[in-house]
Amino acid sequence: MTINDKQQEIIDSFDGLDDWMDRYAYIIDLGAQLAPIAEKDKTPEHLIEGCQSRVWITANVDNNGLMHFTADSDASIVKGIIAMLIDVLDGHTPQEILDADLHFINDIGLGEHLSPTRSNGLLAMVKQIRLYAMAFKALSQKK
């Protein structure tokens, strides 16, 4: 599936949830389904600066040049948000990630329902994912 296909899946899953309490519950459920990050990866090196809560993100690239992420947060809603980001971006090339227009956050209305500090944290998470993509792209071009 393309990044846009994955975004549309998320948008469609929110269409039936009119009440924001239901939407937050769904986001929390998504976070609960996120595969756990290894305790050894909960280091300052993987901690995202700019987040109100603690968020760790790791990335690697497989033999096919596709990126894979693990993440965790100590806040349930943030964990759900990072779960959605990973769902959309995992399994794509660094260039696809760099080129992606991550519109699903605004399309589901989440952007306008986040506090300013959570919005800053979301931007910091996306920025870190894109930095990982830039680094892996640069490494692949050296080969």
* CA–CA separation, 101 and 143 (whole Å): 28
Q: What residues are paired with 57 via a beta bridge?
A: 71
Q: Which of 30, 34, 51, 102 is catalytic?
A: 51
DSSP state of 34: S
* CA–CA separation, 72 and 20 (whole Å): 23
51 touches 78 (CB < 8 A): yes
Active site residue 51: yes
The residues carrying an active-site annotation are 51
